[in-house]
Amino acid sequence: MKVPLSRPEINRDDINAVVSVMRSPYLSTGPRVSQFECLFARYIGARHAIAVSSGTAGLHLCVRSLNIGEGDEVITTPFSFVASSNCLLFERSIPRFVDILPSTLCIDPEKVESAITSKTKAILAVDVFGHPADWDALGHLARKYGLHLIEDACESLGSKYKGKLCGTFGDCAVFAFYPNKQMTTGEGGMIVTKREEIARISRSLRNQGRSEGDQWLVHERLGYNYRLSDLSCALGISQLSRIDEILKKRSVVALYYNEILSDFGEFVSVPLVQKEAEISWFVYVVRLSDDFSQADRDEVLRILRAKGIGCSNYFPPIHVQPFYKTTFGYKPGDFPIAEAIASRTIALPFFSSLSRSNAEFVCGELREAIAKLKANRHE
Ligand SMILES: *Cc1c(COP(=O)(O)O)cnc(C)c1O
């Protein structure tokens, strides 16, 4: 690949931080874990932060901590990474998908309200591609109907909705630190919550169901090993210490793309940012206009990859994933807005060190790929 789809930003301080843990006696369950949690909680403005082994693990523990289980319905979005819905299936709870708003690509609160039944226990909303969901409307519904509200903030570290940081809106929220996210710990995630009970149960569940205190072999509940090691936490501390700088670089890259693509208007639309939102860029996803088909989009991806450009179709809707189709009988057409958007998205290379000339190269090849499609059509 000449320009990869993503690339983590690792500097000398990050490397030194990890190496210093390797020279210490505490590779896991040591002092870096609570240090990372304290610093992260302070950054978000959350009362509690619980480090876990992945974003998926964090979502699973939120579901468990809220006692969402067999037969309970949770209203969520089909336009997301599959983990935001799988975490419900782990506990035999039922995802009730509703369609999205074309403006933000996040769940549509009006459709959420129509989907609420006596079995509904929670709303699980995702800040898609870093754009905050409509948290005022969702919070209002959660209070009105007595539902839990879970924020999947795995793509929105540093984003703001009406001036408040993402991760502060629900009963609990989850961040993720896979290497393609805004900051990384290799693998890793973080639950944040203002609720003491959720924090306490999540801490126990991530550590084999142990209670607090130091009785290492007393297991109060069915737990997991969802711990994050001190090696990962040291990397997290180092990355978090320059998060503003990292996010600034990413927003500069988004600006390059916005500028270069400004005269592609007829064929490609760039990401929209609503006026109530400040976005922390996770990915840069453009959309081909409506006269292109999914096959056209797939052809553009193929052409770009052949030129050494990393790109992807973020995200194929969850309800048409093979496992969901066979388990729940979903079919194309069930969530038409999510499907129409998903069939035309192209995630372009996006990372903090992407240069202006990289962006120009990518957009030049995108322009040529589109021109080729149009020429073929007129043959
Ligand atoms: C990245 C991501 C997750 C969790 O990812 P992990 O790989 O488990 O850390 C969950 N939900 C969304 C929307 C994501 O983008």
Q: Specify whether 262 is located in the same domain as 359.
A: yes
Q: Specify whether 153 is located in the same domain as 193.
A: yes
Q: Specify whether 216 is located in the same domain as 281.
A: no
The whole-number pLDDT of residue 216 equals: 78
Could you read off the pLDDT of 208-243 as tens digits, one per residue? 999 877 677 889 999 999 999 999 999 999 999 999
pLDDT value at 53 more than 90: yes
How many angstroms separate the alpha carbon of residue 53 from the centre of ligand 1?
Answer: 11
CA-CA distances (angstroms) from residue 269 to 45, 129, 212? Answer: 34, 15, 51
Q: Is there a domain that residue 4 lies in?
A: no
Q: Could you tell me which residue, 155 or 213, shows the higher pLDDT?
A: 155
**Percent of all residues in the chain with a pLDDT value above 70, rounded to a whole number:** 99
The whole-number pLDDT of residue 206 equals: 97
How many angstroms separate the alpha carbon of residue 350 from the centre of ligand 1?
Answer: 17
Question: What is the number of the ligand 1 atom nearest to the C-alpha of 54?
Answer: 9
Pocket of ligand 1 contains residue 128 by CB under 6 Å: no
Other beta carbons within 10 Å of 71: 10
CATH code, domain with 371: 3.90.1150.10
Instruction: Calculate mean pLDDT across residues 105-109.
Output: 98
Q: Which residues pair with 219 in a beta bridge?
A: 210
The whole-number pLDDT of residue 127 equals: 98
Q: Domain range holding 364? A: 243-377
Q: Specify whether 171 is located in the same domain as 269.
A: no
Q: Specify whether 236 is located in the same domain as 151.
A: yes
Q: Indicate the top mutation candidate among 59, 62, 84, 156 to test ligand 1's pocket, ranked by most ligand atoms within 8 A of CB.
A: 84
CA angle, 372 then 374 then 379, to 5°: 95
How many angstroms separate the alpha carbon of residue 368 from the centre of ligand 1?
Answer: 33
Q: Is there a domain that residue 66 lies in?
A: yes
Question: What is the number of the ligand 1 atom nearest to the C-alpha of 128?
Answer: 13
Instruction: Calculate mean pLDDT across residues 107-115.
Output: 98
Q: Two tokens at 100?
A: 């999205």
CATH code, domain with 156: 3.40.640.10
Q: Is there a domain that residue 310 lies in?
A: yes
Q: Indicate the top mutation candidate among 81, 184, 318 to test ligand 1's pocket, ranked by most ligand atoms within 8 A of CB.
A: 81
Could you read off the pLDDT of 112-128 as tens digits, one per residue? 999 999 999 999 999 99
What DSSP line would sit under 33-87, residue for residue? HHHHHHHHHHHHT-SEEEEES-HHHHHHHHHHHTT--TT-EEEE-SSS-THHHHH
Where is the domain boundary, 178, 205, 240? Answer: 240
The whole-number pLDDT of residue 215 equals: 76
Q: Specify whether 315 is located in the same domain as 267.
A: yes
Pocket of ligand 1 contains residue 88 by CB under 6 Å: no
Q: Specify whether 168 is located in the same domain as 279.
A: no
Could you read off the pLDDT of 306-358 as tens digits, one per residue? 999 999 999 999 999 999 999 999 999 999 999 999 999 999 999 999 999 99
Q: Specify whether 161 is located in the same domain as 260.
A: no
Q: Is there a domain that residue 132 lies in?
A: yes
pLDDT value at 4 more than 80: yes
The whole-number pLDDT of residue 268 equals: 94
pLDDT value at 283 more than 90: yes
The whole-number pLDDT of residue 211 equals: 84
How many angstroms separate the alpha carbon of residue 181 from the centre of ligand 1?
Answer: 9
Nearest in space to 93 (alpha carbons), one of 54, 117, 57, 63: 63
How many angstroms separate the alpha carbon of residue 316 from the centre of ligand 1?
Answer: 14
What is the number of structural domains in the chain? Answer: 2
Please give the model's pTM, rounded to 2 decimal places.
Answer: 0.97
Where is the domain boundary, 211, 240, 269? Answer: 240
Cα–Cα distance for residue pair 149/373, rounded to 1 Å: 44
Pocket of ligand 1 contains residue 6 by CB under 6 Å: no
Q: How confident is the model at residue 377 (pLDDT cuts 50, 70, 90)?
A: confident
Q: Is there a domain that residue 33 lies in?
A: yes
Q: Is there a domain that residue 75 lies in?
A: yes
Q: Specify whether 200 is located in the same domain as 287.
A: no
Give nearest CA residue, ligand 1 atom 4. Answer: 55
Where is the domain boundary, 174, 207, 240? Answer: 240
Q: Is there a domain that residue 185 lies in?
A: yes
Q: How confident is the model at residue 379 (pLDDT cuts 50, 70, 90)?
A: low
How many angstroms separate the alpha carbon of residue 82 from the centre of ligand 1?
Answer: 8
The whole-number pLDDT of residue 212 equals: 77
Other beta carbons within 10 Å of 219: 14
Question: What is the number of the ligand 1 atom nearest to the C-alpha of 80?
Answer: 13
Could you read off the pLDDT of 59-106 as tens digits, one per residue? 999 999 999 999 999 999 999 999 999 999 999 999 999 999 999 999
pLDDT value at 136 more than 80: yes
Residue 317 Cα to chain centre, angstroms: 14
